[in-house]
Structure 1
Protein backbone atom coordinates (compact mmCIF):
# COMPACT_ATOMS: atom_id res chain seq x y z
CA UNK A 1 0.00 0.00 0.00
CA UNK A 2 2.94 2.34 0.56
CA UNK A 3 4.60 1.26 -2.70
CA UNK A 4 7.72 -0.18 -1.06
CA UNK A 5 7.82 -2.80 -3.82
CA UNK A 6 6.76 -0.85 -6.89
CA UNK A 7 6.33 -3.93 -9.10
CA UNK A 8 3.87 -5.64 -6.76
CA UNK A 9 1.92 -2.45 -6.04
CA UNK A 10 1.72 -1.54 -9.72
CA UNK A 11 0.66 -5.07 -10.70
CA UNK A 12 -2.08 -5.13 -8.04
CA UNK A 13 -3.36 -1.73 -9.14
CA UNK A 14 -3.09 -2.77 -12.80
CA UNK A 15 -4.96 -6.01 -12.10
CA UNK A 16 -7.75 -4.10 -10.38
CA UNK A 17 -7.90 -1.72 -13.34
CA UNK A 18 -8.12 -4.61 -15.80
CA UNK A 19 -10.94 -6.18 -13.77
CA UNK A 20 -12.78 -2.86 -13.61
CA UNK A 21 -12.42 -2.34 -17.39
CA UNK A 22 -13.52 -5.93 -18.00
CA UNK A 23 -16.63 -5.67 -15.84
CA UNK A 24 -17.56 -2.03 -16.29
CA UNK A 25 -16.54 -0.92 -19.77
CA UNK A 26 -16.82 -4.25 -21.58
CA UNK A 27 -19.93 -5.17 -19.55
CA UNK A 28 -18.61 -8.61 -18.68
CA UNK A 29 -20.36 -10.13 -15.66
CA UNK A 30 -18.84 -11.74 -12.57
CA UNK A 31 -20.93 -14.90 -12.79
CA UNK A 32 -19.94 -15.33 -16.43
CA UNK A 33 -16.25 -14.87 -15.58
CA UNK A 34 -16.41 -17.37 -12.72
CA UNK A 35 -18.19 -19.90 -14.96
CA UNK A 36 -15.63 -19.47 -17.76
CA UNK A 37 -12.75 -19.90 -15.31
CA UNK A 38 -14.37 -23.06 -13.92
CA UNK A 39 -15.00 -24.41 -17.43
CA UNK A 40 -11.34 -23.93 -18.38
CA UNK A 41 -10.06 -25.31 -15.06
CA UNK A 42 -12.20 -28.44 -15.49
CA UNK A 43 -11.71 -28.90 -19.24
CA UNK A 44 -7.90 -28.78 -19.26
CA UNK A 45 -7.36 -31.64 -16.74
CA UNK A 46 -10.21 -33.63 -18.34
CA UNK A 47 -8.72 -33.34 -21.82
CA UNK A 48 -5.22 -33.99 -20.50
CA UNK A 49 -6.39 -37.13 -18.67
CA UNK A 50 -8.12 -38.49 -21.77
CA UNK A 51 -5.29 -37.53 -24.11
CA UNK A 52 -2.70 -39.17 -21.85
CA UNK A 53 -4.27 -42.59 -22.59
CA UNK A 54 -3.59 -42.19 -26.31
CA UNK A 55 0.02 -41.05 -25.95
CA UNK A 56 0.91 -43.55 -23.21
CA UNK A 57 1.69 -41.00 -20.54
CA UNK A 58 0.46 -40.94 -16.99
CA UNK A 59 -2.62 -38.82 -16.31
CA UNK A 60 -2.15 -35.62 -14.34
CA UNK A 61 -2.29 -35.85 -10.58
CA UNK A 62 -5.21 -33.76 -9.42
CA UNK A 63 -4.85 -32.89 -5.74
CA UNK A 64 -7.75 -33.33 -3.37
CA UNK A 65 -8.73 -29.99 -1.88
CA UNK A 66 -10.63 -29.97 1.41
CA UNK A 67 -11.40 -26.93 3.50
CA UNK A 68 -10.47 -27.54 7.12
CA UNK A 69 -13.42 -27.23 9.46
CA UNK A 70 -11.41 -25.21 11.98
CA UNK A 71 -10.59 -22.53 9.39
CA UNK A 72 -14.22 -22.29 8.30
CA UNK A 73 -15.41 -21.96 11.90
CA UNK A 74 -12.83 -19.24 12.61
CA UNK A 75 -13.97 -17.22 9.59
CA UNK A 76 -17.61 -17.62 10.62
CA UNK A 77 -16.77 -16.59 14.19
CA UNK A 78 -14.86 -13.51 13.05
CA UNK A 79 -17.69 -12.55 10.71
CA UNK A 80 -20.25 -13.00 13.49
CA UNK A 81 -18.17 -10.82 15.82
CA UNK A 82 -17.95 -8.02 13.26
CA UNK A 83 -21.69 -8.16 12.49
CA UNK A 84 -22.49 -8.00 16.21
CA UNK A 85 -20.14 -5.05 16.61
CA UNK A 86 -21.83 -3.22 13.72
CA UNK A 87 -25.27 -3.92 15.23
CA UNK A 88 -24.09 -2.58 18.61
CA UNK A 89 -22.84 0.63 16.97
CA UNK A 90 -26.15 1.00 15.10
CA UNK A 91 -28.08 0.51 18.35
CA UNK A 92 -25.90 3.09 20.11
CA UNK A 93 -26.41 5.66 17.34
CA UNK A 94 -30.16 5.05 17.21
CA UNK A 95 -30.56 5.24 20.99
CA UNK A 96 -30.53 9.05 20.91
CA UNK A 97 -27.84 9.56 23.55
CA UNK A 98 -25.29 11.30 21.34
CA UNK A 99 -26.75 13.85 18.93
CA UNK A 100 -23.37 14.68 17.43
CA UNK A 101 -22.67 11.04 16.53
CA UNK A 102 -26.21 10.61 15.18
CA UNK A 103 -25.91 13.65 12.93
CA UNK A 104 -22.46 12.55 11.79
CA UNK A 105 -23.74 9.11 10.81
CA UNK A 106 -26.78 10.58 9.06
CA UNK A 107 -24.59 13.05 7.15
CA UNK A 108 -22.16 10.29 6.18
CA UNK A 109 -24.96 8.03 4.95
CA UNK A 110 -26.52 10.92 3.05
CA UNK A 111 -23.20 11.71 1.30
CA UNK A 112 -22.73 7.99 0.57
CA UNK A 113 -26.22 7.82 -0.95
CA UNK A 114 -25.43 10.78 -3.21
CA UNK A 115 -22.14 9.22 -4.30
CA UNK A 116 -23.86 5.84 -4.74
CA UNK A 117 -26.46 7.48 -6.94
CA UNK A 118 -23.75 8.83 -9.24
CA UNK A 119 -21.68 5.65 -9.52
CA UNK A 120 -22.53 1.98 -9.59
CA UNK A 121 -21.17 -0.34 -6.89
CA UNK A 122 -18.27 -1.73 -8.91
CA UNK A 123 -17.02 1.71 -9.90
CA UNK A 124 -17.33 2.91 -6.31
CA UNK A 125 -15.42 -0.17 -5.12
CA UNK A 126 -12.72 0.50 -7.71
CA UNK A 127 -12.43 4.16 -6.65
CA UNK A 128 -12.06 3.11 -2.99
CA UNK A 129 -9.43 0.53 -3.98
CA UNK A 130 -7.42 3.10 -5.95
CA UNK A 131 -7.69 5.61 -3.09
CA UNK A 132 -6.52 2.99 -0.60
CA UNK A 133 -3.53 2.32 -2.83
CA UNK A 134 -2.58 5.94 -3.49
CA UNK A 135 -3.58 8.09 -0.49
CA UNK A 136 -1.21 6.44 2.06
CA UNK A 137 1.67 6.80 -0.42
CA UNK A 138 0.90 10.48 -1.07
CA UNK A 139 0.42 11.13 2.65
CA UNK A 140 3.76 9.56 3.50
CA UNK A 141 5.50 11.62 0.83
CA UNK A 142 3.87 14.97 1.76
CA UNK A 143 3.04 14.42 5.44
CA UNK A 144 3.89 17.94 6.66
CA UNK A 145 1.78 19.72 4.04
CA UNK A 146 -1.17 17.37 4.54
CA UNK A 147 -1.06 17.72 8.34
CA UNK A 148 -1.01 21.52 8.23
CA UNK A 149 -3.89 21.55 5.75
CA UNK A 150 -5.86 19.07 7.89
CA UNK A 151 -5.37 21.25 11.00
CA UNK A 152 -6.74 24.27 9.14
CA UNK A 153 -9.67 22.23 7.87
CA UNK A 154 -10.49 20.93 11.36
CA UNK A 155 -10.44 24.48 12.75
CA UNK A 156 -12.86 25.60 10.02
CA UNK A 157 -15.15 22.61 10.60
CA UNK A 158 -15.24 23.34 14.34
CA UNK A 159 -16.17 26.97 13.60
CA UNK A 160 -19.02 25.87 11.32
CA UNK A 161 -20.20 23.29 13.85
CA UNK A 162 -20.22 25.93 16.61
CA UNK A 163 -22.44 28.14 14.43
CA UNK A 164 -24.72 25.18 13.63
CA UNK A 165 -24.88 24.26 17.31
CA UNK A 166 -25.68 27.81 18.34
CA UNK A 167 -28.34 28.45 15.71
CA UNK A 168 -29.98 25.03 15.32
CA UNK A 169 -28.89 22.21 17.61
CA UNK A 170 -29.11 24.12 20.88
CA UNK A 171 -32.74 24.97 20.14
CA UNK A 172 -33.77 21.31 19.83
CA UNK A 173 -35.25 20.22 23.17
CA UNK A 174 -33.60 16.80 23.00
CA UNK A 175 -33.20 16.46 26.79
CA UNK A 176 -36.90 17.14 27.34
CA UNK A 177 -37.88 14.58 24.70
CA UNK A 178 -35.54 11.97 26.21
CA UNK A 179 -36.95 12.69 29.67
CA UNK A 180 -40.50 12.22 28.42
CA UNK A 181 -39.55 8.94 26.72
CA UNK A 182 -37.99 7.64 29.93
CA UNK A 183 -41.12 8.64 31.89
CA UNK A 184 -43.31 6.78 29.39
CA UNK A 185 -41.10 3.65 29.69
CA UNK A 186 -41.51 3.67 33.48
CA UNK A 187 -45.28 3.85 33.17
Structure 2
Protein backbone atom coordinates (compact mmCIF):
# COMPACT_ATOMS: atom_id res chain seq x y z
CA UNK A 1 0.00 0.00 0.00
CA UNK A 2 1.47 3.42 -0.95
CA UNK A 3 2.34 5.78 1.90
CA UNK A 4 0.99 9.30 1.49
CA UNK A 5 3.55 11.03 3.69
CA UNK A 6 6.32 10.07 6.07
CA UNK A 7 7.62 12.27 8.88
CA UNK A 8 10.54 13.59 6.79
CA UNK A 9 8.24 14.55 3.93
CA UNK A 10 5.80 16.29 6.31
CA UNK A 11 8.78 18.15 7.78
CA UNK A 12 9.83 19.28 4.28
CA UNK A 13 6.28 20.39 3.36
CA UNK A 14 6.18 22.75 6.36
CA UNK A 15 9.62 24.21 5.58
CA UNK A 16 11.74 22.01 7.84
CA UNK A 17 12.32 24.70 10.50
CA UNK A 18 10.41 26.12 13.43
CA UNK A 19 7.14 26.09 11.46
CA UNK A 20 7.47 22.31 10.96
CA UNK A 21 8.19 21.81 14.67
CA UNK A 22 5.04 23.75 15.57
CA UNK A 23 2.78 21.98 13.03
CA UNK A 24 4.06 18.50 13.94
CA UNK A 25 3.95 19.21 17.70
CA UNK A 26 7.66 18.46 18.19
CA UNK A 27 7.86 21.42 20.58
CA UNK A 28 4.60 20.83 22.47
CA UNK A 29 4.76 24.02 24.59
CA UNK A 30 5.35 26.27 21.59
CA UNK A 31 2.66 24.49 19.52
CA UNK A 32 0.15 24.82 22.37
CA UNK A 33 1.07 28.52 22.79
CA UNK A 34 0.57 29.22 19.06
CA UNK A 35 -2.76 27.36 19.07
CA UNK A 36 -3.88 29.27 22.19
CA UNK A 37 -2.80 32.58 20.61
CA UNK A 38 -4.77 31.96 17.41
CA UNK A 39 -7.76 30.76 19.44
CA UNK A 40 -7.71 33.97 21.52
CA UNK A 41 -7.50 36.10 18.35
CA UNK A 42 -10.43 34.16 16.83
CA UNK A 43 -12.43 34.56 20.08
CA UNK A 44 -11.78 38.32 20.24
CA UNK A 45 -12.78 38.95 16.62
CA UNK A 46 -15.61 36.45 16.17
CA UNK A 47 -17.22 36.16 19.63
CA UNK A 48 -16.42 39.47 21.35
CA UNK A 49 -16.57 41.25 17.92
CA UNK A 50 -13.39 43.25 18.55
CA UNK A 51 -12.34 45.42 15.60
CA UNK A 52 -8.93 44.77 14.01
CA UNK A 53 -7.66 48.38 14.19
CA UNK A 54 -8.78 48.72 17.84
CA UNK A 55 -7.08 45.45 18.80
CA UNK A 56 -3.89 46.36 16.92
CA UNK A 57 -3.71 49.78 18.63
CA UNK A 58 -4.32 48.24 22.07
CA UNK A 59 -1.58 45.64 21.48
CA UNK A 60 0.89 48.36 20.36
CA UNK A 61 -0.01 50.50 23.40
CA UNK A 62 0.57 47.51 25.71
CA UNK A 63 3.94 46.72 24.04
CA UNK A 64 5.04 50.38 24.29
CA UNK A 65 4.11 50.54 28.00
CA UNK A 66 5.93 47.26 28.75
CA UNK A 67 9.07 48.45 26.90
CA UNK A 68 8.90 51.85 28.65
CA UNK A 69 8.60 50.29 32.15
CA UNK A 70 11.29 47.71 31.29
CA UNK A 71 13.72 50.40 30.04
CA UNK A 72 13.11 52.72 33.02
CA UNK A 73 13.32 49.91 35.58
CA UNK A 74 16.63 48.72 34.09
CA UNK A 75 18.30 51.84 35.51
CA UNK A 76 17.02 51.15 39.06
CA UNK A 77 17.38 47.36 39.14
CA UNK A 78 20.15 45.19 37.68
CA UNK A 79 18.18 44.29 34.61
CA UNK A 80 19.23 44.00 30.96
CA UNK A 81 17.46 46.46 28.68
CA UNK A 82 15.61 44.93 25.72
CA UNK A 83 17.61 44.87 22.48
CA UNK A 84 16.22 45.92 19.10
CA UNK A 85 17.57 42.62 17.72
CA UNK A 86 15.03 40.75 19.87
CA UNK A 87 12.22 42.39 17.85
CA UNK A 88 13.69 41.71 14.39
CA UNK A 89 12.04 39.12 12.14
CA UNK A 90 14.68 36.64 10.94
CA UNK A 91 15.54 36.93 7.25
CA UNK A 92 15.15 33.14 6.85
CA UNK A 93 11.49 33.40 7.91
CA UNK A 94 10.76 36.09 5.32
CA UNK A 95 12.66 34.13 2.66
CA UNK A 96 10.64 30.99 3.50
CA UNK A 97 7.29 32.78 3.02
CA UNK A 98 8.48 34.47 -0.21
CA UNK A 99 9.65 31.11 -1.62
CA UNK A 100 6.31 29.49 -0.75
CA UNK A 101 4.40 32.36 -2.38
CA UNK A 102 6.54 32.09 -5.54
CA UNK A 103 5.98 28.31 -5.61
CA UNK A 104 2.20 28.81 -5.28
CA UNK A 105 2.17 31.34 -8.15
CA UNK A 106 4.18 28.99 -10.41
CA UNK A 107 1.92 26.06 -9.51
CA UNK A 108 -1.19 28.16 -10.21
CA UNK A 109 0.23 29.13 -13.62
CA UNK A 110 1.09 25.49 -14.49
CA UNK A 111 -2.39 24.29 -13.51
CA UNK A 112 -4.07 27.15 -15.42
CA UNK A 113 -2.33 26.20 -18.69
CA UNK A 114 -4.33 22.93 -18.69
CA UNK A 115 -1.35 20.61 -19.26
CA UNK A 116 -2.82 18.24 -16.67
CA UNK A 117 -6.56 18.30 -17.43
CA UNK A 118 -7.50 16.23 -14.35
CA UNK A 119 -5.67 18.59 -11.99
CA UNK A 120 -7.20 21.59 -13.80
CA UNK A 121 -10.77 20.25 -13.29
CA UNK A 122 -10.07 19.29 -9.64
CA UNK A 123 -8.66 22.77 -8.92
CA UNK A 124 -11.60 24.57 -10.56
CA UNK A 125 -14.06 22.35 -8.67
CA UNK A 126 -12.24 22.90 -5.34
CA UNK A 127 -12.19 26.69 -5.83
CA UNK A 128 -15.89 26.67 -6.71
CA UNK A 129 -16.70 24.63 -3.55
CA UNK A 130 -14.58 27.01 -1.43
CA UNK A 131 -16.37 30.03 -2.95
CA UNK A 132 -19.73 28.44 -2.06
CA UNK A 133 -18.55 27.77 1.52
CA UNK A 134 -17.18 31.34 1.72
CA UNK A 135 -20.65 32.71 1.01
CA UNK A 136 -21.97 31.13 4.22
CA UNK A 137 -18.89 31.17 6.49
CA UNK A 138 -16.97 34.28 7.53
CA UNK A 139 -13.38 34.61 6.32
CA UNK A 140 -12.04 34.57 9.89
CA UNK A 141 -13.90 31.34 10.73
CA UNK A 142 -12.62 29.75 7.52
CA UNK A 143 -9.00 30.80 8.23
CA UNK A 144 -9.26 29.58 11.83
CA UNK A 145 -10.70 26.24 10.64
CA UNK A 146 -7.84 25.89 8.13
CA UNK A 147 -5.31 26.67 10.87
CA UNK A 148 -6.90 24.04 13.15
CA UNK A 149 -6.66 21.51 10.31
CA UNK A 150 -2.99 22.38 9.78
CA UNK A 151 -2.07 21.82 13.45
CA UNK A 152 -4.23 18.72 14.02
CA UNK A 153 -4.34 16.68 10.79
CA UNK A 154 -0.55 16.01 10.47
CA UNK A 155 -0.30 14.69 14.04
CA UNK A 156 -3.52 12.66 13.58
CA UNK A 157 -2.06 11.21 10.37
CA UNK A 158 1.06 10.09 12.27
CA UNK A 159 -1.08 8.22 14.79
CA UNK A 160 -3.42 6.55 12.26
CA UNK A 161 -1.05 6.35 9.28
CA UNK A 162 -1.99 2.87 7.97
CA UNK A 163 -5.77 3.49 8.15
CA UNK A 164 -5.48 6.88 6.38
CA UNK A 165 -3.20 5.41 3.67
CA UNK A 166 -5.70 2.61 3.03
CA UNK A 167 -8.66 5.03 2.74
CA UNK A 168 -6.60 7.42 0.59
CA UNK A 169 -5.53 4.66 -1.84
CA UNK A 170 -9.15 3.49 -2.18
CA UNK A 171 -10.33 7.08 -2.70
CA UNK A 172 -7.56 7.70 -5.25
CA UNK A 173 -8.64 4.66 -7.26
CA UNK A 174 -12.29 5.78 -7.19
CA UNK A 175 -11.37 9.32 -8.30
CA UNK A 176 -9.19 7.99 -11.15
CA UNK A 177 -12.04 5.73 -12.27
CA UNK A 178 -14.47 8.69 -12.18
CA UNK A 179 -12.14 10.90 -14.23
CA UNK A 180 -11.58 8.15 -16.78
CA UNK A 181 -15.38 7.96 -17.20
CA UNK A 182 -15.66 11.77 -17.46
CA UNK A 183 -12.78 11.88 -19.93
CA UNK A 184 -14.25 9.19 -22.20
CA UNK A 185 -17.85 10.47 -22.07
CA UNK A 186 -17.45 14.26 -22.00
CA UNK A 187 -13.92 15.73 -22.24
CA UNK A 188 -12.93 13.75 -25.35
CA UNK A 189 -16.11 14.90 -27.13
CA UNK A 190 -15.20 18.60 -26.80
CA UNK A 191 -14.36 19.77 -30.34
CA UNK A 192 -10.83 20.99 -30.79
CA UNK A 193 -9.62 23.36 -33.50
CA UNK A 194 -7.35 22.09 -36.27
CA UNK A 195 -3.69 22.09 -35.35
CA UNK A 196 -1.67 24.03 -37.89
CA UNK A 197 1.65 22.53 -38.87
CA UNK A 198 4.59 24.80 -38.26
CA UNK A 199 6.69 25.50 -41.32
CA UNK A 200 10.38 25.86 -40.73
CA UNK A 201 12.44 27.91 -43.14
Fold-level similarity (TM above 0.5): yes
Q: Which has the larger radius of gyration?
A: 1
Query: Residue 119 of structure 1: which of 133, 137, 157 is its match?
Result: 137
Corresponding residue of 2:107: 89
Distance 1:144 1:51 in 2: 57
Cα RMSD over matched residues?
3.7
Does residue 28 (structure 1) correspond to residue 68 (structure 2)? The answer is no
Corresponding residue of 1:40: 62
TM-score (norm 2): 0.67
Does residue 156 (structure 1) correspond to residue 174 (structure 2)? The answer is yes
* Alpha-carbon spacing, 1:152–1:86, altered in 2? closer, same or farther (3 Å): closer
Greater percentage in helix: 1
Does the aligned pair in 1 maintain the 2:71–2:81 contact within 8 Å? no
Corresponding residue of 1:179: 195
Distance 1:8 1:141 in 2: 20
Number of residue pairs the alignment of both structures matches: 176
* Alpha-carbon spacing, 1:141–1:82, altered in 2? closer, same or farther (3 Å): closer
* Alpha-carbon spacing, 1:178–1:27, altered in 2? closer, same or farther (3 Å): farther
TM-score (norm 1): 0.71
Deviations 1:110-156 (A, max 9, x none): 12212222222211111111111111121111111111111111121
Distance 1:139 1:77 in 2: 28
* Alpha-carbon spacing, 1:95–1:20, altered in 2? closer, same or farther (3 Å): same
Corresponding residue of 1:12: 34
Which consecutive unaligned segments of at least 5 residues does structure 1 have? none
